[in-house]
C-alpha cells in the first residue's frame, strides 16, 4: 500500500508541472507580440516624423 501512495504523490507532482509547461509559451508569445507591436508603432512614428520634417510647406 505504501508503494501505491508514493506513486500517487509522484503523479500529483507531475500534473501541475505539465500544466505550467503548456501555459508558459502562451505568455511568452503574448509578451513577444506586444513588444513587436510596440516596436512597430515606434518605427512608424519615426517614419511619419521624417516625412513631416522633409515635407516642403512652402508650396
pLDDT in tens, 1-59: 555 555 555 544 455 555 555 566 667 888 999 999 999 999 999 999 999 998 887 76
Confidence (pLDDT) at 44: 98
In Å, what is the CA distance from 39 to each residue of 31, 45, 51? 12, 10, 18
| pLDDT value, residue 56 | 80
Residue 57 has a pLDDT of: 75
Please tell me the predicted confidence (pLDDT) of residue 12: 47
Q: Residue written as cell 522633409?
A: 54
In this prediction, residue 28 carries a pLDDT of 84
Amino acid at each position: 500500500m505504501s508503494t501505491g501512495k508514493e506513486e500517487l504523490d509522484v503523479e500529483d507532482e507531475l500534473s501541475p508541472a505539465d500544466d505550467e509547461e503548456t501555459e508558459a509559451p502562451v505568455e511568452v508569445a503574448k509578451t513577444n507580440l506586444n513588444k513587436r507591436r510596440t516596436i512597430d508603432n515606434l518605427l512608424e512614428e519615426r517614419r511619419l516624423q521624417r516625412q513631416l520634417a522633409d515635407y516642403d510647406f512652402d508650396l
